[in-house]
Structure 1
Amino acid sequence: MQVSTRFAIALPAGYVPAHALAFHGRDANGPAERVEGTHIRKAVLLDGVPTLLDLAIHDDHADCAIDADGPVAARARAALVNMLGLAIDPAPFAAMVAGDALFAPLVGRHPGLRVIQAATVFEALTWAVIGQQINLAFAIALRRSFIELAGRPHASGMWCYPEAADVARLDADQLGMRKFSRAKAETLLRLARLVADGDLDLERLLDEHGAAGAAERLLAIKGIGPWTVNYALLRGYGYPDCSLHGDVAVRNAIGRLLGGADGPRPDLREAEAFLLAYRPQRTMAAAYCWASLGAPVA
């Protein structure tokens, strides 16, 4: 049973499509994403149903389509909003730093900067685990293998990013054959099984426990550390006050902001203290740090 729905999402003035296009197009050969011009297509499993999310971005709106091989999940519309990067409003940060000698020039140089999210929290969290401590090119290759191994096809022919139940059926050896380290494979399986068994409700985690409580529950999972948690809060939940002091690129950017091109990289404690000044908008501070380096989309 194919179920389709069409609607439009209004875009704020000054919306810059390039940020969403770069994030969703970071794997030119990705089985679950296709980016052509200002058109994004994303295949993902939602409540067990292969679903194609379609975005055609225009000046003031995005034409949206949901084509599901079954009942449309209630969270499909929210997934499209996330993919456009509309969850975090950048205006409060811009107002906060209007007189800031470090960030005000960055805001001026990168108009319309937004934090783009993954379609689902599970996607953001598993991507964060996959990308831990490896370079971006290798992480993208692993992600591609992960989708091919655990995902399922949509009627369009695209391959859907998996849900927890699909990943939970795998074993570490299957992932190991695709070049996943044993530790990375076991962390992915441990996470997926907790979600699939109902012991961890990712969709309600932030609303029910707040950022600190959500972080505590995720950190209790072996193999998940503070950087992974903050990345999941940023890309999965669109939480506006993530401290990315553990991110090497953010720390490099802070060093340059404070000391010029040759400024020394601060240590974790120094970077955390620097970012504290930008509460409760530290997510956008990290986004501008990345932008200041021209860092690849992760």
Structure 2
Amino acid sequence: MILRACGPLDFGVMYDFMEHQEDCLYRTKDKKVRRAEIFDGRRVLFEVSESAEPDAVEVEILHDEGAGERMVSEYVADWFDLDYDLERFYTFARRDRRFETVTREYYGFRMLSYVNITDVLVWSIIGQQINMKFAFELKRRLVEYFGHFIEYEGKKYWIIPNAGELLTLTVEDMREMQISRRKAEYILACAEGVQNGSLSKEYLQGFDSYSRAKAHLTGVRGIGPWSANVVLMRTIKSRHAVPIGDAGLRNAFKITDGLNGKPDARYMEDIISGWGQFGAYATLYMWRVLG
């Protein structure tokens, strides 16, 4: 099936980015991305590739236990943020020289989202203040512990456990995976929130403003401003979300603004306050400045 984006989409640029990630929840090969998921207890494995049609992707279902095309198409549209009108961001970006080169180089690059709320919460905690390679390794250990996968053509396609399954873990179980005690406690707190509904995707999408959703998230133990903005940017799709304290964002400003050192919070806030509803995508493209 063919899924069209609202505005520009360059799957090749997206693929290049994904190929350099080490996320255990998808595989890249030969310009195609494969992923396994569970929808209402029904497992499915699908493949996403470039479409012959412009600004579109092609999706092929490789294994299906009854999920059906609709659930898969909705998932892929969410994952690649296909419903966002990217041309609106480019119109905004043309007014700021910081984006001149990066939007030309990565034209058609979209937000790679975390569709699963448990996935993004776990990542926002595991990824705090450690290098990305080790963070991906910790995530892999946690995912593989539960043994959910689809085997296809001799490869295992892993599926993240649900919040209820995470709650069967103890802190010591996660310590054996080399997840720190504090992060293990935070993961369990977030899993409890997903389970009781206070951190469910539907509940977070129900807030009428970015600031209220952020305040709710930062009220949960283990979720600081950076983690909250990761969740809001990449799962809830709050377009105002910007992780101001993010080290990568600070480094990007150093490059685009020709600074001798990293900018302080006030410098960044003065600029970011003008991004408004384009904050999430402005952040995404500032990260791409770093390569």
For the aligned pair, the TM-score class normalised by the smaller chain equals: 0.7 to 0.9
Distance in 2 between residues matched to 1:235 and 1:19, nearest whole Å: 18
Q: 2:6–2:84: 8 Å Cα contact kept in structure 1?
A: no
Give TM-score, length-normalised by structure 2: 0.87
2:30 corresponds to: 37
* Aligned partner letter, 2:183: K
Alignment gaps of 5+ in structure 1: 1-6
1:250 aligns with 2:249: yes
SS in 1 for 2:276: coil
Distance in 2 between residues matched to 1:155 and 1:293, nearest whole Å: 36
* Aligned partner letter, 1:63: E
1:227 corresponds to: 226
Distance in 2 between residues matched to 1:268 and 1:99, nearest whole Å: 23
Distance in 1 between residues matched to 2:121 and 2:13, nearest whole Å: 20
* Aligned partner letter, 1:56: S
- Shift in CA distance, 53/241, structure 1 to aligned 2, threshold 3 Å: farther
Compare 98-107 and 231-240 and name the one that shifted more. 98-107
Distance in 1 between residues matched to 2:115 and 2:244, nearest whole Å: 24
* Aligned partner letter, 1:190: A
Q: 1:94–1:104: 8 Å Cα contact kept in structure 2?
A: no
1:272 aligns with 2:269: yes
Among the aligned pairs, what percent are the same residue? 25
SS in 2 for 1:117: coil
- The equivalent position to 1:10 in structure 2, one of 4, 7, 17, is 4
* Aligned partner letter, 1:188: I
Q: How many residue pairs were aligned?
A: 285
Distance in 1 between residues matched to 2:89 and 2:8, nearest whole Å: 16
CA displacement at 1:227 relative to structure 2: 0.5
CA displacement at 1:183 relative to structure 2: 0.8
- Shift in CA distance, 243/14, structure 1 to aligned 2, threshold 3 Å: closer
- The equivalent position to 1:102 in structure 2, one of 80, 98, 102, is 98
CA displacement at 1:17 relative to structure 2: 1.4
CA displacement at 1:159 relative to structure 2: 2.0
* Aligned partner letter, 1:103: F
* Aligned partner letter, 2:269: E
CA displacement at 1:22 relative to structure 2: 4.0
CA displacement at 1:12 relative to structure 2: 5.5
RMSD: 2.4
1:135 corresponds to: 131
CA displacement at 1:192 relative to structure 2: 0.7
1:173 corresponds to: 172
CA displacement at 1:120 relative to structure 2: 1.9
- Shift in CA distance, 268/69, structure 1 to aligned 2, threshold 3 Å: farther
SS in 2 for 1:44: strand
What are the within-5 Å matches in structure 2 for residues 1-298 of structure 1? 7-11=1-5, 14-27=8-21, 31-60=24-53, 61-66=56-61, 67-71=63-67, 76-150=72-146, 152-154=148-150, 156=152, 157-258=156-257, 260=258, 262-294=259-291
Distance in 2 between residues matched to 1:181 and 1:32, nearest whole Å: 22
Give TM-score, length-normalised by structure 1: 0.85
Q: 2:25–2:157: 8 Å Cα contact kept in structure 1?
A: yes
CA displacement at 1:180 relative to structure 2: 0.1
1:3 corresponds to: none
